Amino acid sequence: MASERTNHYNPSGAGEIPDIVIGRLPVYLRTLRLLDSQGAEVTSSQELGQLLGISSAQIRKDLSHFGEFGKQGTGYNIAFLCKQLEKILKVDCVWPVVLVGAGYLGHALASYNGFENRGFRIVAVFDNDSAKIGERVGENYVQGVETIPQVVAKYHCQIAILAVPAQNAQAVADQLIETGVRSILCYAPITLNVPQHVRVEYIDPVISFQHMTFYLEKGCIDE
């Protein structure tokens, strides 16, 4: 479940770009990086479409919002297109990220080693449980939530991850926004109330499960 805002301003001057288009760019980038890791040098919209289940015409249309990246008959240079998408998505650098919540999920996120090579580094972990303060989680030591303003200011953080219970999520989000955070990745099963300038992306596995079960034959566990 993503934010309902539908448009994003393109700094190149091309105007408003549908949010759904921007949402597909990271998927293109991930696939291109996979092809690059396999030693491929050139790809086409047809090949990308087959790998992703998206029409080649849609891929060409999406990319055309940002410029011309390939040549008819020769396709796309994978390394070049990767770099261009990294610039467009602003992940040609490493973004500092703060994580609130040092429970099981927080531990897993903080220990995940797949963030930094894709543009993100968790620089601090917070929790309101005094028993967890000082505990090592990934590369960080858990700090009290009262230190959030100082840490956000120190690293100029604009991105935060919420891995807290639903009943605490809104209050923590409010605190983060007050410190200058503008983007929140929320794992709590709740819809946050945030100002217009703040973007929220939601990850709720139960929602995804419930979406999938609609298409399945009923197969519940017998009690």
In order along its 223 residues, the chain shows pLDDT tens digits of 343 333 443 444 445 899 999 999 999 999 999 999 999 999 999 999 999 999 999 999 999 999 888 776 678 999 999 999 999 999 999 999 999 999 999 999 999 999 999 999 999 999 999 999 999 999 999 999 999 999 999 999 999 999 999 999 999 999 999 999 999 999 999 999 999 999 999 999 999 999 999 999 888 887 6
CA distance 21 to 23: 5
Q: Does some domain include residue 148?
A: yes
Q: Does some domain include residue 214?
A: no
Residue 164 contacts residue 101 (beta carbons within 8 Å): yes
Q: Does some domain include residue 213?
A: no
Regarding whether 130 and 49 lie in a shared domain, the answer is no
Cα→Cα distances 35→32, 39, 64, 214, Å? 5, 7, 21, 33
Regarding whether 101 and 203 lie in a shared domain, the answer is yes
CA distance 205 to 21: 23
Q: Does some domain include residue 223?
A: no
List the one residue out of 166, 160, 200 whose CA is nearest residue 180: 160
Last residue of a domain, one of 63, 88, 113: 88
Last residue of a domain, one of 73, 88, 103: 88
Regarding whether 144 and 68 lie in a shared domain, the answer is no
Q: Does some domain include residue 215?
A: no
pLDDT of residue 219: 81
pLDDT of residue 55: 96
pLDDT of residue 195: 96
pLDDT of residue 15: 58
Regarding whether 123 and 68 lie in a shared domain, the answer is no
pLDDT of residue 223: 62
Whichever domain contains 137, its CATH number is 3.40.50.720
Q: Does some domain include residue 219?
A: no
Regarding whether 199 and 109 lie in a shared domain, the answer is yes
Last residue of a domain, one of 66, 88, 110: 88
List the one residue out of 77, 74, 70, 83 whose CA is nearest residue 40: 77
Q: Does some domain include residue 29?
A: yes
CA distance 213 to 26: 27
Regarding whether 137 and 51 lie in a shared domain, the answer is no
pLDDT of residue 13: 42
Q: Does some domain include residue 196?
A: yes
Regarding whether 79 and 103 lie in a shared domain, the answer is no
Residue range(s) defining the domain that contains residue 106: 95-208
Structural domain tally of the chain? 2
